[in-house]
Amino acid sequence: MLGSGVAMNRENTGFVWQLLKEEECTDAWLQPFAIHDLLDLPKSVTEDGFRLRSIVVTGQMIDNFYTGVIGRFCQNMMVIYSSNESPRVAVNGPIDGSKPLQAGDVGRPFPGVEIRIVDDIDIPNERGTIGKIQVRSPYAMKEYVGNPQLTKQVFTESKWYRTGDLGKISPEGNLIIVGRENDVISRGCKNIYPGMLESLLREMTAIKDVCVVPVPDKRLLEEVCVCFLSSGQVTPEDVKRFFEQKLFREHTQSSLGEIPTYFLRFETFPKVGNGKFDRKRISLEAVARLGLNKTSTTTDN
């Protein structure tokens, strides 16, 4: 088992793949950032024909971009939704790449696991409506030892675990993750889900990665800033045009209310210890680059 420090270093990606081959591994459990790094490797690394049977991915919501490993690095992939408090919640797969993967689709519950979507006062929502994800599972922990107050905060009286994630149930019965409660951007009276915007922008050619963060606005409280990494000469104007001309006409109903206001190109994104983007630091840098503060009025960049 590799240490997280080895796997998280982008420069070690080729070494990690070589190690999987030398150990004749059949399956690998990888974080999304590791899959992203694999897809950046030159095509020559897989010319020898070695393929994993399956890549299992967990840790954050993923979209169709990540299925690019199928056929090239593995025969299929599995998406698992879980947490430290409640492992083995839902699974989607095996995914063979024959049809697009909807962003955030983590499949159906494991046997014995119940999932519900609720509003702010724990009342279940209608199917298809975005709300807070709660889980009741025989695999869930019972309590935080020595911390009854925290246990009470994360579990309802009927033992539903409050995951902190937002999602909905698809017409097919799959759980669709749309983001974290803490990441939701409150633009006026409308909630904007960064994960949904990020998955849409990854469809744009030459976009390597994207992080959507809030920035302060005097009138609306928060505005939406798209921070992106690109592999070519992609300008903020190009990205804005892509949103306006294609994505929201095809993917959302209330398009004008969700088009971001700011677009910034980054060279790299800071990350936290588990490899995820450090959204707080990215937001702070965006605020500084845009010249905004909590009392500022929105201005064009």
Secondary structure class of 260 (helix, strand, coil): coil
- What integer pLDDT is reported at residue 299 of this predicted model? 38
Residue 20 and residue 89 share a domain: yes
Quick check: is 165 in a domain?
yes
Quick check: is 261 in a domain?
yes
Residue 119 and residue 33 share a domain: no
Tabulate helix, strand, coil % of the chain (nearest 5).
Answer: 30, 30, 40
- What integer pLDDT is reported at residue 196 of this predicted model? 85
- Tens digits of residue pLDDT in 225-259: 999 999 888 899 999 988 887 765 555 545 455 78
Secondary structure class of 152 (helix, strand, coil): helix
- What integer pLDDT is reported at residue 250 of this predicted model? 54
Burial zone of 255 (CB within 10 Å; 0-12 exposed, 13-18 middle, 19+ buried): middle
Length of the chain in terms of residues written: 301
- What integer pLDDT is reported at residue 244 of this predicted model? 81
Residue 222 and residue 207 share a domain: yes
Among 152, 180, 208, where does a domain finish?
180
Quick check: is 142 in a domain?
yes
Quick check: is 89 in a domain?
yes
Residue 199 and residue 274 share a domain: yes
- The CA-to-CA distance between both ends of the chain, in Å, stands at 46
Q: Into how many domains does the chain fold? A: 3
CA distances from 152 to 38, 133, 134, 178 (A): 41, 17, 14, 25
Residue 91 and residue 20 share a domain: yes
Quick check: is 301 in a domain?
no
Quick check: is 299 in a domain?
no
Instruction: Report the CATH number at residue 165.
Output: 2.30.38.10
Q: How far apart are CA 162 and CA 124, in angstroms?
A: 13
Angle at 104 between CA 26 and CA 85, to 5 degrees: 75
Quick check: is 197 in a domain?
yes
- What integer pLDDT is reported at residue 190 of this predicted model? 84
- What integer pLDDT is reported at residue 118 of this predicted model? 97
**Domain boundaries, position 176:** 109-180
Residue 49 and residue 36 share a domain: yes
- What integer pLDDT is reported at residue 298 of this predicted model? 39
Q: Which residues of the chain register pLDDT less than 70?
A: 1-10, 247-257, 294-301
- Tens digits of residue pLDDT in 171-225: 999 999 998 898 999 888 888 889 888 988 888 888 989 999 999 998 888 999 9
Among 154, 180, 206, where does a domain finish?
180
pTM for this entry? 0.80
Quick check: is 263 in a domain?
yes
Residue 282 and residue 193 share a domain: yes
Instruction: Report the CATH number at residue 33.
Output: 3.40.50.980
